[in-house]
Amino acid sequence: MGSDATVTDLITADQTIFDAAGKVLAVHLAYSSRAAQRGRTPAFPSYFMKASSSLAATGSTVERPASTELLAFEGEIALIIGTDARRVSVEDAWSHVGFVTASNDLGVYDMKYADKGSNIRSKSGDGYTPLGPVLLPAASLNPAALRIRTWVNGEIAQDATTEELIFSFAQIVADLSQQMTLKTGDIILTGTPAGSSVIVPGDVVEVQVDDEAAGLSTGRLATTVIEGNQDFATFGNQPKITDADRIDAFGTAAEAGIELPITGKAALTDEVKEKLMSVATATISGALRSRGLNNVSVDGLQATKGMTKVIGTARTLRYVPNREDLFKTHGGGYNAQKRVIDDIGPGEILVMEARGEKGSGTLGDILAMRTQVRGAEAIITDGGVRDLDAVAALDIPTFHNGAHPAVLGRKHVPWDTDVAVGCGGTTIVPGDIVIADADGILVIPPHLAAEIADEVVENERQDTFVFLNVKNGNKIQGLFPMNAEWKAKYNQWVANGEPEF
């Protein structure tokens, strides 16, 4: 940047703006659609850095390194700092942004593993941050109503607005400024929406940012992919990819051509849920046992809602035995217990491992109420519950190991979430299907849910037929289990619409 120029003099992205960029900072996850693809929504923004030497202008080429497969584009909105910002407030942060433009946060996932999440080599290759072509004055824009689009070979791949941002641009600027001075000319890449995927040599990627209400547009930022012809030197890390890398690069497992096992909510469809909820837990237990699954019940707990039946997928929380120094570091503040309760949602059941310890509460009425407000289906703990009368008065069913007035720190440290836990004598993995009532709590592996649902509906129907016949005075012999004669009668009963006798 020349001595007589300022950032606000610039209207196009060229070598001058690239030379002015002391730092290029990037947000990991910022759009709700992208967070949904990744299966996690962060509470706060997190960042990585890209080399300023990765900046390039529109019309440039980007090399997919030799022996790599997963070069991916990410259309993004870039902020260019106009005046230095240090410890600025969210309310004041936008005034420190000079310009907004389009960017492409390119990265090669084959090298992502090498720097343990810092993205240094995967994201900082020459030409990996094209920027431009037109710089839009931030003061003339509505940052909450910008549109970003990405095309690959002329076909739209991303189309989103900043209405779906998890974190506003002002929050991102203010947050970064708390620990570093954002200098004039620094660049912040603000995350990408869903639709990012893999590109190959010959592809042309174009990114455009618009404030349609203001009639302002960056124009299309074009980048062409070329094939590299020089392998990585043997004295450094070599390209390496896993299925997880492929899924991240393509955006989804389906786009990556990877078939994942059926898990959690994907397995608990409305049809499967309806079938499982229509039968007794004893019938489901029998179907599990016939498949060799005998240790799938959570035992010894009491229910606050009697025979009320619930079903959902497991979200898990593990407590470890209290140790005073560990409670100081893990027990206070926004600990694992509070985080999982704040993040739980409809269709999910909070399952807590407390090692069967009855000498302390694992939650009380306030956190139980928060779990209810979040829309969770139930709470299951093999530990104690504080404020039991108040917890029992809530709408959310709670399954527990008894009442106790003490707080966590007497016996427990909230340690981690969404891990395999042991509760009531069985193992529960995040995403397992849990069905519970006062007769019992069962865990159903998701990949078996559909076939078990079909089987138990049929088993329940047969049990109903047998029960009605026993009630009508028939002997057990030949009826339970049914011999060929009774089976024929059963088939006719089903064909007649299962009438009452």
Two tokens, residue 371: 């779990």
**CA-CA distance, 184 to 81, in Å (whole number)?**
5
Per-residue pLDDT, 3: 33
What distance in Å separates the CA atoms of residue 457 and residue 462, rounded to the nearest whole number?
9
At position 116, the amino acid (one-letter code) is K
In order of 59, 320, 359, the CA distances from 401 in angstroms are 66, 17, 10
DSSP state, residue 408: G
Q: What is the pLDDT of residue 358?
A: 93
Q: Please give the helix or strand (H or E) that residue 208 lies within, else none.
A: strand 204-211
Instruction: Look at phi and psi of residue 92 and say left if phi exceeds 0, alpha if psi is from -120 to 50, else beta.
Output: alpha
Separation between Cα atoms, residue 244 and residue 251, nearest integer Å: 10
The 3-state DSSP class for residue 394 equals coil
Question: Is 182 in contact with 176 (CB distance < 8 Å)?
Answer: yes
> Taking the alpha carbons of 251, 255, 261, 264 in that order, is the dihedral positive or negative?
positive
Q: Which has the closest alpha carbon to 417: 348, 342, 356, 337?
A: 337
Q: Render each residue's pLDDT in the chain as its tens digit; 501 residues.
A: 333 334 444 477 778 888 889 999 999 999 999 988 887 788 899 999 999 999 999 999 999 999 999 999 999 999 999 999 999 999 999 999 999 999 999 999 999 999 877 899 999 999 999 999 999 999 999 999 999 999 999 999 999 999 999 999 999 999 999 999 999 999 999 999 999 999 999 999 999 999 999 999 999 999 999 999 999 999 999 999 999 899 999 998 889 999 877 777 889 999 999 999 999 899 999 999 999 999 999 999 999 998 899 999 999 999 999 999 999 999 988 999 999 999 999 999 999 999 999 999 999 999 999 999 999 999 999 999 999 999 999 999 999 999 999 988 899 999 999 999 999 999 999 999 999 987 899 999 999 999 999 999 999 899 999 999 999 999 999 999 999 999 999 999 999 988 887
Q: What is the pLDDT of residue 449?
A: 94
For residue 453, what are its two tokens? 């649902």
Burial pattern 237-267, b for ≥16 Cβ within 10 A else e, equals eebebeeebbbbbbbeeeebeeeeeebbeeb
Question: CB–CB of 64/200 below 8 Å?
Answer: yes
Rounded to the nearest 5 percent, the helix, strand and coil shares of the chain are: 30, 30, 40
Q: How many helices (H) and strands (E) does the chain have?
A: 16, 27
Whole-number Cα distances in Å, 266 to 109, 345, 418, 450, 453: 27, 15, 17, 11, 14
Distance CA 338, CA 15 (A): 48
Q: Comparing C-alpha atoms, which of 268, 257, 240, 227 is closest to residue 114? A: 240
Q: Give the Cα separation of 134 and 212 in Å (integer).
A: 15
Question: Against a cut of 0.85, is the pTM above it?
Answer: no
| Per-residue three-class SS string for 119-141 | CHHHHCCCCCEEEEEEEEEHHHC
CA distances from 73 to 25, 181, 199, 296 (A): 17, 29, 7, 44
- Whether residue 171 contacts residue 118, with contact meaning beta carbons closer than 8 Å, is answered with no
Sorted by where each starts, the structural domains of the chain and their CATH numbers stand as 7-256 (3.90.850.10), 268-293+445-501 (no CATH), 294-444 (3.50.30.40)
Instruction: Please tell me whether residue 488 adopts helix, strand or coil conformation.
Output: helix
d(CA 165, CA 150): 17
